[in-house]
């Protein structure tokens, strides 16, 4: 019967397997329990399988296997909400395995979260912390006196922020696809999701860390969500125009810096000591008083956000994260392009000094990020069996929003004066103790996320976000 239906609708094996799982008309024809998840067992239909190097036997398209679990709906929450809809959950032992999560995407998301900390940790550990970035952007540059610090900063600077942004676009593409399969409506309740993300980002900005990414992502997500309802041609035009305008702005800013380097701003002694001697409430007031300056990055790079969101959409739709031959081929191409061309170019901009800061952080790193995506994907393709590192990164990826906020809160408590104050106490031990702080925080987060997911299917902030969204939906329905 499946073969007949597949032939009648001109579907591929993968599309037919998905139809067995999701389409109620097919279920009526096949006669299974309508609550069946569509794995083909109760229907008496075996879903197509294939052998993928480094993964083993997997089922098209998102059936349960070592790297794909359950239905195509994704559970858990993204950084920033790259998670998606309310999906089914299968429980194996004590670990909750959300439906339909691609392991590669979870690992990439985990790498991106811990990678952003590799950049932000230098802000937390600077004696002037968030204020220091305002008075001297050179503090954020990768080039440093210590070669190990330079290498560490170079590998992280701008790359993982770009990765996180691309993955947010992937999450939007997944949610868009899921919404169309569910009821055909888009953007549906996504604007409420983005509004909640903006509120979360505002709270994170004011109460935890000034260089939050959630607020900018929420605004860009609204724009891209609207674009996903437009034609592919419109999306392509907006993507390249946004990228072109961003490039032009960064080159213009770089030309200004090269022609007339910015004058050195004299630090306010009181503010320079704010994050070592000041109270928690004093730091909150500082963020409120300087909100416009502290929010400058997502404003001036908004074109880049839109470009990378749409790039993530295109990569997902092209199959760059699939387990099959197409996905592996695309990942190899990204690896060659990003590391073969992007890495040497980025090295040149880094060695060019502070005047090339804009290009070094906001232009070249996204190209290198493609190489990172390809490298991680290729390594996972060749991995015979997931180990503890992969498991830890996957857990961080599944609880990305919670881990993102927790890592910043933990570093603030460790480094700032209202907490342990180690930024000032260990100033003479830079950069070595900073390496240890990043490695320790990353390890603790991976372990904590793994233990949490043994009892719960989502991170705490992801669960709270979902509850608020569901409560809002129920309230709207009740009012209607």
Say how far apart CA 314 and CA 103 lie, in whole Å: 19
Specify the pLDDT at position 470: 85
Give the DSSP letter string of 337-397: IIIIIIHHHHHHHHHT-GGGHHHHHHTSHHHHHHHHHHHHHHHHHT-SS--HHHHHHHHHH
Specify the pLDDT at position 82: 39
In the chain, which residues have pLDDT < 70? Answer: 2, 4, 6-10, 14, 21-101, 137-140, 261-265, 472-480
Specify the pLDDT at position 142: 72
Specify the pLDDT at position 80: 41
**Cα 283 off chain centre by:** 27
pLDDT digits (tens, 9 = 90+) for 343-364: 999 999 999 888 899 999 999 9
Specify the pLDDT at position 13: 74
Specify the pLDDT at position 25: 63
Specify the pLDDT at position 264: 64
Residue 357's alpha-carbon distances to 302, 344, 350, in angstroms, are 17, 16, 8
Question: Do the Cβ atoms of 216 and 302 come closer than 8 Å?
Answer: yes
Q: Which residues of 7-26 are buried (b: 16+ CB within 10 A; e: fewer)?
A: eeeeeeebebbbbbbbeeeb
pTM given for the model: 0.78
pLDDT digits (tens, 9 = 90+) for 258-300: 888 666 667 788 888 899 999 999 999 999 999 999 999 999 9
Count of CA atoms in the C-beta half-sphere (13 A) of 363: 22
């Amino acid at each position: 019967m499946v073969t007949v239906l597949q032939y009648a609708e001109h579907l591929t094996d993968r599309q037919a397997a998905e139809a067995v799982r999701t389409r109620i008309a097919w279920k009526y024809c096949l006669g299974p329990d309508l609550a069946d998840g569509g794995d083909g067992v109760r229907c008496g239909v075996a879903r197509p399988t294939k052998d993928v190097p480094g993964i083993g036997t997997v089922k098209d398209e998102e059936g349960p296997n070592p790297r794909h679990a359950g239905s195509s709906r994704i559970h858990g929450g993204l950084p920033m909400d790259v998670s998606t809809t309310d999906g089914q959950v299968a429980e194996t032992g004590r670990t909750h395995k959300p439906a339909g999560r691609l392991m590669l995407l979870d690992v990439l998301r985990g790498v991106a979260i811990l990678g952003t900390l590799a950049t932000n940790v230098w802000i937390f550990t600077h004696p002037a912390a968030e204020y220091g970035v305002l008075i001297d952007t050179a503090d954020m540059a990768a080039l440093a006196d210590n070669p190990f610090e330079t290498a560490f900063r170079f590998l992280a600077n701008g790359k993982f922020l770009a990765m996180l942004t691309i993955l947010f676009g992937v999450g939007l593409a997944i949610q868009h696809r899921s919404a169309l399969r569910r009821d055909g409506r888009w953007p549906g309740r996504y604007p409420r999701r983005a509004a909640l993300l903006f509120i979360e980002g505002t709270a994170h900005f004011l109460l935890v860390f000034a260089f939050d990414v959630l607020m900018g992502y929420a605004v860009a997500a609204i724009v891209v969500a609207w674009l996903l309802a437009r034609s592919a041609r419109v999306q392509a035009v907006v993507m390249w125009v946004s990228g072109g305008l961003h490039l032009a702005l960064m080159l213009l800013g770089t030309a200004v810096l090269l022609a007339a380097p910015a004058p050195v701003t004299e630090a306010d002694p009181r503010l320079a000591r704010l994050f070592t001697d000041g109270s928690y409430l004093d730091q909150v007031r500082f963020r409120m008083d300087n909100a416009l300056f502290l929010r400058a990055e997502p404003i001036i790079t908004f074109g880049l956000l839109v470009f990378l969101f749409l790039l993530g959409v295109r990569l997902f739709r092209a199959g760059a994260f699939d387990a099959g031959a197409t996905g592996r081929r695309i990942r190899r191409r990204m690896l060659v392009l990003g590391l073969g061309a992007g890495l040497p170019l980025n090295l040149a901009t880094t060695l060019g000094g502070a005047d090339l800061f804009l290009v070094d952080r906001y232009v070249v790193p996204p190209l290198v990020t493609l190489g990172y995506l390809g490298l991680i994907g290729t390594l996972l393709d060749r991995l015979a069996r997931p180990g503890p590192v992969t498991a830890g990164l996957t857990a961080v990826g599944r609880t990305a929003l919670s881990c993102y906020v927790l890592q910043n809160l933990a570093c603030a408590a460790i480094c700032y004066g209202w907490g342990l104050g180690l930024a000032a106490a260990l100033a003479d031990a830079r950069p070595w103790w900073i390496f240890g702080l990043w490695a320790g925080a990353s390890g603790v987060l991976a372990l904590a996320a793994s233990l949490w997911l043994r009892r719960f299917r989502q991170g705490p902030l992801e669960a709270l976000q979902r509850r608020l969204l569901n409560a809002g939906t129920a309230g709207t329905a009740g009012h209607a």
